């Protein structure tokens, strides 16, 4: 049972991330998750909207752990942030430019159309910003600047994903990574 629920959630996360909320139908989720429509409604009685909200919050947690792991295993926070941009670019190429941020497509789509889902995306972005900000503070950057740099770094990465997926080139991710790292270095010195 848990396996079925997780399979449905995993498939939904991938489809919502690649095609958006409106572009992903319940029939496609049923087919790709190899689950019955009845079992989807059993696990997610709120239907597509509940499924999407859980997909947003679940991938939010997964990527939170990724941010923490990448930064915390690097020699310092500057190298950690650089590694994160490098890894994001490599993953984009490895997935033929399909897997970037799991929630950005939905975030833009629901910003003006679905307040419940908009709040879920805002909560996830806030988790990520807080995790980065904590680490910049620990490295010695004052709280206000740490938060500003974290918001800016996440913005640069999210936007670089948009440009890189459109152009099928990681030039924008490299350009963003170089400049974000330079700004963090300047704040530390």
Binding stretches for its own copies (CB under 8 A)? 18-23, 97-98, 100, 104-105, 107-109, 111-113, 118, 121-122, 125-126, 147-149, 151-152, 154-163, 165-168, 171-172, 175-176, 178-180, 182-183, 186
Nearer to its own copies, 138 or 178 (CB): 178
Minimum CB separation of residue 174 from its own copies in Å reads 8
- As measured in angstroms, the least distance from the Cβ of 60 to its own copies is 12
H or E segment and range at residue 71? helix 47-72
Q: Nearer to its own copies by C-beta: 183 or 188?
A: 183
DSSP 102: S
- Pick the closer one to its own copies by CB: 60 or 80: 60
* 81 φ/ψ angles, rounded to the nearest 5 degrees: -65, -40
Instruction: Decide if 189 contacts 79 (C-beta within 8 A).
Output: no
How many angstroms separate the CA atoms of 125 and 136, rounded? 17
Smallest separation (angstroms) from its own copies to the CB of 110? 9
CA separation (Å) from 92 to 41, 79, 173?
Answer: 33, 20, 10
Write down the least CB distance from residue 52 to its own copies, Å: 13
Residue ranges of alpha helices (H) inside the chain are: 2-19, 26-33, 37-43, 47-72, 77-94, 104-110, 115-138, 143-167, 171-188
With residue 52 as reference, give the H or E element that holds it.
helix 47-72
CB of 159 to its own copies, least distance (A): 3
Residue closer to its own copies (CB basis): 38 or 96: 96
Nearer to its own copies, 36 or 166 (CB): 166
């Amino acid at each position: 049972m848990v396996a079925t629920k997780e399979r449905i959630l995993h498939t939904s996360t991938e489809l919502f991330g690649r095609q958006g909320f409106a572009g992903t139908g319940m029939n496609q989720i049923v087919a790709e998750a190899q689950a019955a429509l009845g079992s989807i409604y059993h696990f997610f009685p709120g239907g597509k909207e509940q499924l999407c909200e859980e997909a947003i919050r679940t991938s939010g947690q997964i990527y939170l752990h990724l941010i923490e792991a990448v930064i915390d295993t690097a020699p310092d926070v500057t190298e950690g942030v650089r590694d994160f941009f490098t890894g994001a670019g490599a993953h984009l190429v490895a997935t033929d430019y399909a897997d970037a941020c799991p929630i950005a497509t939905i975030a833009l789509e629901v910003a003006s159309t679905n307040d419940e889902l908009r709040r879920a995306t805002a909560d996830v972005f806030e988790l990520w910003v807080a995790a980065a900000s904590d680490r910049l503070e620990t490295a010695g950057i004052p709280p206000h600047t740490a938060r500003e740099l974290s918001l800016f770094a996440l913005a640069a990465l999210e936007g670089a994903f948009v440009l890189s997926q459109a152009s099928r080139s990681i030039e924008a991710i490299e350009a963003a990574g170089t400049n974000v790292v330079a700004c963090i270095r300047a704040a530390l010195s």
